Structure 1
């Protein structure tokens, strides 16, 4: 459990170098959530779990995540109606 406002303040003061979160207090988060705008914060889509089933799964999810972080439109985008909002190279 993380107090998001305390996390934001700690990041602003430089007490933390960054943060990686898998769950937020409110999901989906409000557009005004400061964590969404902070360059040293990564928010993953609930992928921080492990099971025997997952052990045999291909690492494609991680690859798609890296593509997006590197400014590339992820291959196999499911919600393609959002592709126009994605700016490659940003």
Structure 2
């Protein structure tokens, strides 16, 4: 939810301050795909901007493109629910 607000300029944080976006030419999943930065130090791996990259990049474009946080929450809920039903 925080990433959604950051990428759609609903917060005072700019996406470039926390994340490194993958160039648009390379992306195939969605336009807000994040580059995965590697860290040598263990405590950097706990930072928010490194922990959320894999989860954010795995979301479908229909969820990531939603501009309103409430709509994003609903779509995220249904996406995760469908994923859980696949494993049962």
Q: TM-score, normalised by structure 2?
A: 0.28
- Greater relative contact order (Cα 8 A, min sep 6): structure 1 or 2? 2
Structure showing greater radius of gyration is 1
Higher helix share: 2
